[in-house]
């Protein structure tokens, strides 16, 4: 049986090869047939999951929460030292220096990443800004969000922190970070569906065993997850879900 492994679409483009390398090494180590799915958007991901085509998912934290609680997925592992963080940035020459300088009616560019939006909204609370106070500008890529901020077409842009730090030196020199989250406890999660059964343990062992090995560590480095993966218990997952529940409003 071939298991479909889906990678949430919010990884940086330069990590693409790394995910394919991971798929290859996991197959070798687990003895399982794995087929990698890399949907281009959150909508495509949702469709694949709804069609029942997904056996394992490297999910962003908020999707993971609903998949565990509502769709019976099980959390098996998470990256070590790689939490999901976000950056709110404006043009380097902007008068704003903190999020508290943003005013009701301000324009903010963002991509289709609901984790980034949700965490960003929480970080705007000290400025008394709610979702309704902001004119949202949806863009397809973080590069587009950066361009809009640099040109002054928006007052700020939301970025996944990894994407912000992957912007070119030139682009970053024209931006100013107003806020970078340090949430630490919220990470992506590798989930398996109930139908994977006992094979979930083989996937977990293969993944957790990569750290420091000749064939595993280069893959982890390529993914920007040098610390590797650690096993996750049901209670670890429940704890993260409770935590995220507090951030929903």
Q: How far is CA 131 from the centre of its chain?
A: 21
Stretch that binds other proteins, among 4-12, 110-118, 121-129, 201-209 (CB under 8 A): 121-129
**Minimum gap (Å) between residue 90 Cβ and other proteins:** 15
**Minimum gap (Å) between residue 249 Cβ and other proteins:** 8
CB 155 within 8 A of CB 106: yes
Binder to other proteins among 46, 92, 184, 194 (CB under 8 A)?
Answer: 184
Binder to other proteins among 44, 112, 180, 230 (CB under 8 A)?
Answer: 180
Closer Cβ to other proteins, 184 or 194, answer by number:
184
Per-residue CA distances from 91 to 28, 63, 133, 147 (Å):
47, 31, 20, 9
**Minimum gap (Å) between residue 75 Cβ and other proteins:** 14
Binder to other proteins among 181, 187, 192, 193 (CB under 8 A)?
Answer: 181
Closer Cβ to other proteins, 119 or 206, answer by number:
119
Is residue 175 classed as helix, strand or coil in its secondary structure? strand
Closer Cβ to other proteins, 18 or 120, answer by number:
120
Q: What is the dihedral sign for C-alpha 147, 110, 87, 126? A: positive
Closer Cβ to other proteins, 138 or 184, answer by number:
184
CA angle 200, 24, 43 (to 5 degrees): 70
How far apart are alpha carbons 210 and 22 in whole angstroms? 10
Backbone dihedral angles phi then psi of residue 87, each to the nearest 5 degrees: -125, 135
CA atoms within 13 A of residue 90's CA, in its CB half-sphere? 19
Binder to other proteins among 41, 50, 128, 140 (CB under 8 A)?
Answer: 128
Residue with tokens 């704003």: 96
Q: Determine if 138 is a binding residue for other proteins (CB under 8 A).
A: no
Q: Determine if 89 is a binding residue for other proteins (CB under 8 A).
A: no
Type and span of the H or E element at 229: strand 229-231
Q: Determine if 176 is a binding residue for other proteins (CB under 8 A).
A: no
How far apart are alpha carbons 134 and 2 in whole angstroms? 45
Q: Determine if 153 is a binding residue for other proteins (CB under 8 A).
A: no
Binder to other proteins among 131, 153, 185, 215 (CB under 8 A)?
Answer: 185
Residues 188-207 that bind other proteins (CB under 8 A): none
Which residue ranges make up the site for other proteins (CB under 8 A)?
100, 122-123, 125-128, 179-185, 235, 238-239, 242-243, 245-247, 249
């Amino acid at each position: 049986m071939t298991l479909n492994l889906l990678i949430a679409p919010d990884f940086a483009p330069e990590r693409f090869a790394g995910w394919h390398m991971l798929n290859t090494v996991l197959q070798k180590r687990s003895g399982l047939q794995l087929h990698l799915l890399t949907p281009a958007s959150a909508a495509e991901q949702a469709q694949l999951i709804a069609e029942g085509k997904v056996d394992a998912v490297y999910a962003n934290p908020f999707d993971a929460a609903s998949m565990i609680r509502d769709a019976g997925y099980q959390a098996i592992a998470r990256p070590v030292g790689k939490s999901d963080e976000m950056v709110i940035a404006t043009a380097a020459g902007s008068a704003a220096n903190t999020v508290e300088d943003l005013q009701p009616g301000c324009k903010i560019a963002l991509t289709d990443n609901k984790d980034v939006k949700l965490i960003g909204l929480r970080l705007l609370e000290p400025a008394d800004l709610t979702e309704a106070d902001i004119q949202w500008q949806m863009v397809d890529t973080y590069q587009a969000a950066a361009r809009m901020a640099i040109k002054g077409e928006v007052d700020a842009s939301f970025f996944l922190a990894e994407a912000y730090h992957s912007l070119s030196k030139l682009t970053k020199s024209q931006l100013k970070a107003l806020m970078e989250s340090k949430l630490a406890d919220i990470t992506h999660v590798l989930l398996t569906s109930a139908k994977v059964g006992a094979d979930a343990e083989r996937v977990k062992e293969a993944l957790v065993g990569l750290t420091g090995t000749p064939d595993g560590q280069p893959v982890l480095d390529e993914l920007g997850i040098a610390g590797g993966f650690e096993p996750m218990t049901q209670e670890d997952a429940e704890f993260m879900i409770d935590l995220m529940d507090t951030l929903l409003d």
